[in-house]
Structure 1
Amino acid sequence: MSWFDNAQSLMDKTWLGSLLGIVSFIAAIIFYFWPRKQTRLSYVHLGEHVLGSASDTLPSAIVVQYNGISIPRLTKSILIFWNSGENTVKGEDIVAKDPLRVHIGDDGQILSAVILKSSRAVNDFSILKTPDIAANEITFDFSFLDKDDGAVVEILHTSTDRNPRIRGTLKGLPQGFRNLGQFTRPKPQKNKTGALLSTFTTSLFPALVFSSAAFLFAMYFPRPEIISAGTFNGLMGGLGGFSSAWLGHAWTTRRRYPKSLHLEALE
């Protein structure tokens, strides 16, 4: 008996389709709740060249100075970071020999860094520029961060790299900050209904359509004669389970920073 016959014999079970659907549904639930129990910090970023570009400096006829020092270009980077886990992160867990800091490209220097918004004043978030830190880095500190606590920081610098990165070490968080990449400027939402509708259409709707199509196909589409009933039900159950897992994954991995950190300037 060939491997195909063995696989078809295994699939030719009436209970297999239901089992696959149940297992996939349980997996989707695990994918949703498991990350919520972890200690996790995340950040997104956005940048643009205000003067000059990544490839060329400013023309010699144009002179731009910052505090009396001529600069080749001016780059603005926005960084949003927050506690994306469930556990509280304490500032006392920052390792002194490897402090938390924002790093820009090696070809530039940081001119200024401003906190545009923080979740709560009690977090005591602050930005520091110490003499022992490189010109292309700036350190930051906080007292503690509960779930969804964080800050929005605007950095002006001269690097060709528009995307800042967070470096440093926190006790109990060996993987460090999770870089979720560039964030897309959100469209203004007049109410919560509009925000929920946007999430549904971009992330959840495709998975629901796929799941519904698999169900309707299994119920009403004529089964090919070369495929047994058990195999057909198993395949449809697997497709439905896959769409359930996709639904859970799409919901948990959507790139969203907390609403408390939203600014109109980010739109």
Structure 2
Amino acid sequence: MSWIDYAQSLLDKSWLGTLLGIAGIVFGVLTYLWTRKRTSLAYVHLGEHLLGSASDALPQQIVVQYNGISIPRLTKSIVILWNNGENTVNGEDIVAKDPLRFHVGDDGQILSILILKSSRAVNDFSFLSTPSAKANEEVFTFNFLDANDGVVVEILHTSTDRKPRIKGTLKGLPQGFRNLGQFIRPKPQKSKPGKLQPLGSILLPIGVALTGFLTAVYGPRPWFLANSDTGLLVYSFLGVVVGMWLNNRFWTRRKYPKSLHTEALE
């Protein structure tokens, strides 16, 4: 058989057209992701009540003071903010009449705020003390943020709300910071020599799917796949398993840049 006849025989197969179509869609999506240019700032948060709770303050028998002032509860919130786009965001674009600021619940006040980690010192991320600042807000600024530049901020406050927000206005970014919700604490990373578990967890489902596809096309099919009824059940079950795996990978992924990870987040 000549190569022309062989190529013609491949083109006659219906699965090849489907495979080329899927490959074209994947290539188009990847090309879009690689070439897109967005201006976007995002943040995720995590909070917990160290003393007291959301519904009740500390008992009267317990007195906790901060700088000589009694507080009803102590809440710790962690905020990770970063440049989630591809375009550089400049600090000079912050609107002076509506500065960027961290905001906790209206029923509390910020006791302390500090930077746990910064992607780069040249970003010059800092807090500003302004006379008009509210007790439950802290104004901040920065020089610039390139793609994936950001900071990890820890806020100690007395609010019942554990979910801080970022307010303020930036020129060219009317939607402001995107709240991507609460992040899941990543498990402590224990490196074991000779084992590539994260890579294996990604490649294993892909290998299983590829093996199943090649077997369905070239190899002999088992009797339970040859039968239309049982075959439909098997394929449905595999689809549910793959869907659950993809859903788990999506919701447990690290939403913030790897450069901002610190042991304090584990």
Task: Tell me the TM-score range normalised by the shorter chain.
Answer: 0.7 to 0.9
Give structure 2 stretches of 5+ with no counterpart: 1-12, 229-234
* Equivalent in the alignment of 1:88: 88
Cα deviation, 1:171-220, whole Å, max 9, x if unaligned, reads 2222322222222222333559899743662x665466445534543444
* Equivalent in the alignment of 2:261: 262
Cα deviation, 1:134-182, whole Å, max 9, x if unaligned, reads 3222111001112222111110111111121212221222232222222
* Equivalent in the alignment of 1:67: 67
TM-score, structure 2 normalization? 0.74
Give structure 1 stretches of 5+ with no counterpart: 1-11, 227-235
* Equivalent in the alignment of 2:118: 118
Partners of 2:186 and 2:254 within 8 A in 1: no
Q: Identity rate of aligned residues, in percent?
A: 63
* Equivalent in the alignment of 1:28: 29
Structure of greater relative contact order (alpha carbons < 8 Å, 6+ residues apart) = 1
TM-score, structure 1 normalization? 0.73
The runs of at least 4 aligned residues of structure 1 exceeding 3 Å deviation read 12-16, 190-197, 203-226
Which entry has the higher C-alpha Rg, 1 or 2? 2
Distance, in Å, in 1 between the alignment partners of 2:260 and 2:67 is 30
More displaced, 51-60 or 26-35?
26-35
Cα deviation, 1:59-83, whole Å, max 9, x if unaligned, reads 1111112222221110001111112
After superposition, where does 1:238-257 map in structure 2 within 5 Å?
Answer: 254-257=253-256
AA matched with 2:263? E
Aligned length: 239
AA matched with 2:65? Q
Structure 1 residues 195 and 162, CA gap change in structure 2 (3 angstroms): farther
* Equivalent in the alignment of 2:97: 97
* Equivalent in the alignment of 1:163: 163
Distance, in Å, in 1 between the alignment partners of 2:76 and 2:194 is 30
After superposition, where does 1:157-236 map in structure 2 within 5 Å?
Answer: 157-191=157-191, 197-198=197-198, 201=201, 205-206=204-205, 209-210=208-209, 212-220=211-219, 221=221
